[in-house]
Amino acid sequence: MSDRETATELPPHILIFPVPLQGHVNSMLNLAELLCLSGLHVTILLSDYTHNRLLRHASLQSRFSRHSGFRVATISDGLPADHPRVGERILDLALSLKEKGGSEFRRLMESTDGLSDGGARRRVSCLIMDGVLSFTTSVVEEMGIPYMYFRTISACAFWPFFCIQEIMDAGEIPFKGKNEDTLTYWKKKEMDMMVTSVPGMEKVLRRRDIPRFFGVTNADDPAFQTMKTDTKKTVEACGLILNTFEDLEEPILDEIRKHIPNLYSIGPLHALLKARLELEGMESSPNHSSSFWEEDRSCIAWLDSQPTCSVIYVSFGSITTLTREELLEFWYGLVNSGHRFLWVIRPDSIVGNYSRNGKEIPVELEEGTKSRGCMVGWVPQQEVLAHPATGAFFTHSGWNSTLESIAIGLPMVCWAYFADQTTNSRFVSEVWKIGMDMKDTCDRIIVEKMVKDVMDVRRDEFLGGLIVWQCCRGRRSLKGDLLT
Ligand code: UDP
């Protein structure tokens, strides 16, 4: 620290750098706000693209206007503006950042004297960054800035990521032959074999539950390599923050601590932030969206007119895409279940075209939706989950969605799409016992059965599982039969 900084006693200045995707940005903004509440100066580094989305659809400025120590800085993610940044194409983002992010980050840090705002703030005192952003480390090391990782995934997904080399050495990945046989590949018996090379998970993790990337059939795949090497580099940082809590993931956290002793489990961050804001007498989130898409609040009015716990909320997050065939399987399953449903279909989530008004959509789906359903482009999810009419969550098992569901006490049906989701969904069904895992199936009969099970037949069983985690966290917001 310079004399000038010591003299003025400026607070430490934390730079937070999320992967520029919705789920990552949500968790990191929560951390940013918590650090602001502790009196620190915080800069969040966003991609230009992400920042523009937040300016258009979120209320970033009003949310952070009450924290004078908060700033936003931006860099390019290196992709053209019209790149879709969803589905399989998301891997382009990781590769583009890896290729161009280092020089962008160096330029930013050097041209602003470590984001010191002309002396109004200290130069960055600590960097807290996401995974796959290790291109920053040479810059901060040169500038003498310590860094920590904040991986926005669960401990149970981080740990197999960390052990990728060991899983490969055991011959359990990469999955051979997937590209030749995409339709039947996941039905192979060998996908149900237990993974032997991830300590502490021998009894739960099958090959099909390993965190997954599109079409990885060879170990040289660049995105796969980045994931592998970057995760191992976590040991070089001052510490690791995870958005989880000890009671939920203690055995796995203990395994990780053998390699990374400075491990901070500080989640669920959204709940922690809410509690902290309440303590400070500040208004919390519903009016403070960080959405990349415009929230359609008509769904709240629709929920208001539905009976208590009668609606299954369906959302596959911000990255998942569905083929038309998958869309129809889910749609038939939901309609045939006879239950009410609120379904988020993002404008960019269907591969190819589908028409709701044209001939392509069977009339029985249109009718079933009109009488019992509501389909919108994006919702204020935490408000939807907390709504008395919402009874269960049909989710892609993104970690934010999973934690939000656990925190509010909603049982889940899981349809994992990729990455950490395949492991989260396994833990939801087999370890935490708070829902069901549809893993590697997409069939209207299974969807129908799972919706009936989670809303009715097996509901008490899952609520029982949720009580355990709610009690551990000392909360009493459980939905369903326990809702008072
Ligand atoms: N989300 C939302 N509205 C929606 C769908 C999702 O606000 O209509 C939020 C959700 O609350 C969560 C985030 O988007 O915080 C999605 O993150 P997650 O880790 O669950 O999945 P990802 O989108 O990263 O796959």
Taking only the tens place, the pLDDT of each residue in 248-293 is 999 999 999 999 999 999 999 999 999 999 999 887 655 578 999 9
Percent of the chain exceeding pLDDT 90 equals: 75
- The answer to which of 207-211, 303-307, 333-337, 423-427 has the lowest mean pLDDT is 207-211
Specify the pLDDT at position 286.
Answer: 54
Expressed in angstroms and rounded, the spacing between residue 118 Cα and the centre of ligand 1 is: 36
CA dist 465 and 435 (Å) reads 9
Specify the pLDDT at position 483.
Answer: 36
Residues 346, 283, single domain; the answer is: no
Expressed in angstroms and rounded, the spacing between residue 451 Cα and the centre of ligand 1 is: 21
Which residues are part of the catalytic machinery? 24, 130
Please count the structural domains in the chain. Answer: 2
- The answer to which of 42-46, 153-157, 479-483 has the lowest mean pLDDT is 479-483
Residues 277, 379, single domain; the answer is: no
> Is the backbone of residue 312 left (phi > 0), alpha (psi -120 to 50) or beta?
beta
Expressed in angstroms and rounded, the spacing between residue 238 Cα and the centre of ligand 1 is: 29
Residue 198, both tokens: 């991830």
Specify the pLDDT at position 222.
Answer: 81
Residues 283, 362, single domain; the answer is: no
* Phi/psi at 329 (5° precision): -60, -45
Q: Assess whether pLDDT exceeds 80 at residue 357.
A: no
Residues 281, 340, single domain; the answer is: no
Specify the pLDDT at position 90.
Answer: 86
Identify whether 37 is part of a domain.
yes
**What b/e readout covers 192-230, taking b as 16+ CB neighbours within 10 angstroms?**
eeebebbebbeebbbbbbbbbbbbbeeeebebbebbbeb
| Residue spans of beta strands (DSSP E) within 76-146 | 126-129
How sure is the predictor about 470, in pLDDT bands with cuts at 50, 70 and 90?
confident
Strand-pairing partners, residue 44, are 16, 72
The residue with greater pLDDT, 289 or 179, is 289
Q: Assess whether pLDDT exceeds 70 at residue 480.
A: no
Contacts of 310 (CB under 8 A, 6+ apart): 339, 340, 389, 391
Identify whether 167 is part of a domain.
no
Residues 279, 366, single domain; the answer is: no
Specify the pLDDT at position 288.
Answer: 76
pLDDT in tens, 104-146: 999 999 999 999 999 999 999 999 999 889 999 999 999 999 9
**Residue written as token pair 């893993």:** 439
**Which ranges of 233-340 would DSSP assign to H, the alpha helix?**
246-257, 269-279, 298-304, 324-337
Closest to 59 (Cα-Cα) out of 251, 290, 283: 290
Closest to 429 (Cα-Cα) out of 458, 471, 400: 458
Mean pLDDT for 82-102 is 88
CA dist 187 and 195 (Å) reads 17
Identify whether 65 is part of a domain.
yes
Identify whether 445 is part of a domain.
yes
Identify whether 256 is part of a domain.
no
Nearest CA to ligand 1 atom 11: 381
Taking a C-beta distance cutoff of 8 angstroms, is the pair 74, 47 a contact?
yes
Identify whether 482 is part of a domain.
no
Residue range of the domain that includes 13: 3-152+266-288
Strand-pair category, 311-315 with 390-395: parallel
CA dist 447 and 365 (Å) reads 15
Residues 469, 357, single domain; the answer is: yes
Residue 285 CB–ligand 1 contact under 6 Å = no
Distance of CA 168 to the CA centre of its chain: 25
Mean pLDDT for 51-80 is 92
| CATH code, 12 | 3.40.50.2000
Identify whether 253 is part of a domain.
no
The model's pTM: 0.94
Specify the pLDDT at position 343.
Answer: 98
Specify the pLDDT at position 356.
Answer: 53
Residue 321 CB–ligand 1 contact under 6 Å = no
Mutate to test the pocket of ligand 1, among 90, 285, 401 (most ligand atoms within 8 A of CB): 401
Expressed in angstroms and rounded, the spacing between residue 22 Cα and the centre of ligand 1 is: 7
Pick the atom of ligand 1 nearest to 26's CA. 15
Residue 381 CB–ligand 1 contact under 6 Å = yes
- The answer to which of 13-17, 275-279, 393-397 has the lowest mean pLDDT is 275-279
Taking a C-beta distance cutoff of 8 angstroms, is the pair 424, 159 a contact?
no
Q: Assess whether pLDDT exceeds 60 at residue 304.
A: yes
Identify whether 245 is part of a domain.
no
Residues 272, 372, single domain; the answer is: no
- The answer to which of 7-11, 152-156, 159-163 has the lowest mean pLDDT is 7-11
Residues 272, 346, single domain; the answer is: no
How many of the other CB atoms lie within 10 Å of CB of 143? 15
Specify the pLDDT at position 6.
Answer: 53
- The answer to which of 177-191, 388-402, 432-446 has the lowest mean pLDDT is 177-191
